[in-house]
Structure 1
């Protein structure tokens, strides 16, 4: 099966390295900064495909499949590494505060129910209070999804790094890639600050930097960074138990004593700083849903760069015209959710050549062999 070089040490790169190494492949994983130091560590760890995806289709199917993988995947990681990832699939509420929002929620509930998903439409105050006593009295309705939830993304990243080490993955953090190495029209690895790194197959998993990486070959893919700013407050005295989504923010109670609040979406290039405007947007956006947050002790705020694509779908699979090169990126806000399925499907392709699951996400929708050939000749 040969060996594999993975460029980018966020949750996607780490998950793929772990999966490939479990299948017997020799894997090297390189990261320019710290493991999961970009979007992965800045995420809220949401596992909520029914909230995230607004219509039936490939993305919702992808999300539901990956969510279904999570319990076993997380359990195996915990047993293998001895670490806790704080998986919580105990339900979430998507809340409407006025008639217009309620009408939109009702429409969403109808198609989700018709598609066979386990969701409930709550309109009685007593029903809402039973699910989450701290929810505002002004809530008119909510979709309750009992099997979605969240994970502690930072603990997940630590477990994945440990699992990769235990599996024998060669890990290089602080390794800057300066070029993609080509021999006879085939990609054979990368040139880096550690020197040349060679492999039978190279996979780009560098998140918001995937476009920059492929630019080194003259391949243009529409991946751009979108900043997300997130904050956390203490849960002391605020016994919130359910994830709450509103139109202006979300509230996620973690098992480590924090309540994570999010999140902005702003075009800022590669700037990760938390801004006053962003922080104000987060705090003002969530307090209408949980009035008790007014007295919460503020802990921290941070920012990360989500990898967005032109059509909202990730790029998974071979890069046309370049033998030995694939990409797994562009997961936007859902890298944590989609990591188990991404790792499995990409490993199925790299190990056995299977592309069926990747079909809606292949890079060929943006990159054609003709364009690549013209660049090679030019």
Structure 2
């Protein structure tokens, strides 16, 4: 078995001091180490953990993602449509539940057989982590070389690999809920293009704008292609988790997350993580047109959802229903002055700009120039 403290310190010596993930009994001791000795964000699902790690990487950290192999299936979308096109390297540890030949719960049987094949299909280099200290140290150095080349690397971890590590500290709950305001007037219902233009007018040299998947990113690109913009091209629902990882690691920047109703509904558990960790330098804006505009205009199920109440209940310090572009800009200006994790919700008209193009800059180029801007 590996001495968890020694192994963790070896990782830290290579620069890996930011962790995020979802617990697994096989990895509990490494998770306890990361909570005790490093920065750790507890994600509500494995896909969000990958996005959080990606944000931390943009902020200049070398992140580690921890998950059970059943959760690897949850992480497929961001691993194939976020970290792959943007060339964001994450170091992953995935437990081998359901290892062939060992007795385990029935839900792990299939994943135990195909964990390595799944990593191969996603073109992720991987190895089974050795329980022998000097071998594991060599493996980790090899993994670090892949990370330095902007390539992800995963370790598959068998039962009993790590020695016991006691959890020495725990999280403190920090639920503020200072300000909340629901609908009190008629909705102006601007277009997405008008709304993005109003948001973009207020950015400055501290602002990073993360635009969600689909036409939101494409329209922001047409308004102004700036080095402090990131246009999500996949991993739908992960934009605020990306924002959390970035805001948490770079508190000197203002992170503006521009989200949509369909996107947020897909991974609404991310609101709980955001509200728990309370990044005061993050502004989360929801543009709700009650439709999947990028895929044909089909209705979302947001009609009866009170996003403002939900964000507030999940710990956002400020949650406001916004009725017009003037009010939107006023709230953004207030946030820039006062800070605090803030949620702004505005209803917009369905539809998009005619003859809307696509970004001519590749995701990898977007990542590279954004990292230069940030760091």
TM-score (norm 1): 0.24
TM-score (norm 2): 0.24
More strand by share: 1
